[in-house]
Every structure is written in C-alpha cells, then in structure tokens.
A and B are shown apart, each in its own frame.
Chain A
Amino acid sequence: EIQMTQSPSSLSAYVGGEVTITCRASQNIGDFYLNWYQQKPGRAPKLLIYASNRLESGVPSRISGSGSGTDYTLTITSLQPEDFATYYCQQSYTLPPTFGGGTKVDIK
C-alpha cells in the first residue's frame, strides 16, 4: 500500500495570501496519478485537481497543482474566505487508492 504524507498538517493564512501544501508518496506514482480534494466541515470532499495539475471544471484558477514522481504540491493564491477548509491528496497509481492525512487551512 502506498503511503501518502501531507505537510503541514495545519496552517494559518490571511485572506488574500498564498498557501502551499505538500504531498509525498512512499514510492514513485508517475506523473498523472495524484488528485487533490477540498473538504469543509460536515460536507463531502470536492475534487479540485486531477492528474497532478489539471483543474476540475468549475474550480477557480487561483488553485493549482504540480509535481511528479513522489512529490506534489497544491498552491492556492489570493486566498478567499471559502478556501478555508481541509485539503487531501490521493494517489490512484495502485490499489488501494490512498489519501494523505489532510491539511487544515484556517484563517489567521
């Protein structure tokens, strides 16, 4: 089973600021098998980025993803109030699909 490690586990940021979340896989997962989700309290996760850097339809362009191999990042610029949430990475390279532990982004 591939382990996904996110860092940091939590962070605080200002509205209008920028955050970067890192996700590391325990083995090489190629270039296209990493996805990012956003989850707000009491709500289902929402897909933001698929295949490492492709923006899901309807997701604002201030959200972006990058990376390959074992190391991936999610970047959110010009933070908006609706961006304060928990973010999860997920690998789909091998079964079982596995998720990172989550990064909670709250308002500073």
Chain B
Amino acid sequence: QVQLVESGGGLVKPGGSLRLSCVASGFSSSDYYMTWIRQAPGEGLEWVSYISKDGKTIYYADSVKGRFTISRDNAKNSLFLDMSSLRVEDTAVYYCARDQVARAGDSFDLWGQGTKVTVSS
C-alpha cells in the first residue's frame, strides 16, 4: 500500500525541540522530492520545507528558516523535520507529502495523515 506515515508530534514548551519523522511505504521515496506542510488549528495550509531526491537541495519557508532542519534517509525510506526554538505559532498539524516535481504542475500527490505539534507553556 502506497502511503506516508508521520510520527513524533506532541506537546512541547516554547523554546523546545522536537523531531518529526515520516516513513514511506509502497514506493521508493528516493525517487521523489519530499515536503513538509503544516496547518494551524482552524487555518489553511502552509508549506514549510522541501528536500530534493539526493538531499542536496533544500528550501525553507521564511517563518521556519534557521530553526527547522529537513533531512532524509533514503535507505530507510524516511523523511525528518528537526524543529528547534519552537514558538507558540508553530502549533499545527504537520504533514509530509510527496512532491511530483517531474510532472506538470509540481503538485503534492500523496500526503501522510499528519502529526500534531502543540507548543504551549
């Protein structure tokens, strides 16, 4: 079954750190760019970061630059998001998604179920 499964969310205090993981199954994630997208409670979707197939090209949203680090382990079909200096406004459901860069539209065609991150004192 082709799917993405995130884990690692939880409750953390402002200034704290958390590592999110996303494991792909049913396909080789090394064939795709991968992305993190988040959704604050009751809000819309916000792109966070993406990483190229070989991990050498990485981009971040300005809102997380310098605080979040995306990485991948292709041997384990896994994607990670290391989050530090967390702020209350980082509270959201975090989704990993497969990025169809090679196809017209460059869309996110497969999403995980999401993992919830709450930053609160």
Contact = CB atoms under 8 A, between A and B. Distances in A.
Contacts of B100: 50
A101 B95 CA distance: 17
B113 A99 contact: no
Interface in B60-113: 61-62, 95, 100, 103-109, 111-113
Contacts of A101: 44
Given A99-B45, A99-B46, A102-B44, A44 B107 contact: no
The SS class assigned to the B binding surface is: loop
For chain B, give the interface size range.
20 to 34
B45 A90 contact: yes
B38 to A, nearest CB: 11
Contacts of B107: 35, 47, 50-51, 56, 90, 92
B68 to A, nearest CB: 13
A54 B109 CA distance: 13
Given A44-B111, A96-B61, A33 B45 contact: no
Contacts of A54: 104-105
A50 B109 contact: yes
A51 B44 contact: no
Contacts of B114: 44
A71 B86 CA distance: 37
A50 B113 contact: no
Contacts of B44: 88, 99-102
A46 B108 CA distance: 9
A47 B61 contact: no
B45 A50 contact: no
A81 interface: no
A44 B103 contact: no
B27 interface: no
- Ranked 8 nearest A-B pairs via Cβ: A51-B105, A50-B105, A92-B106, A51-B104, A44-B111, A50-B107, A35-B107, A99-B45
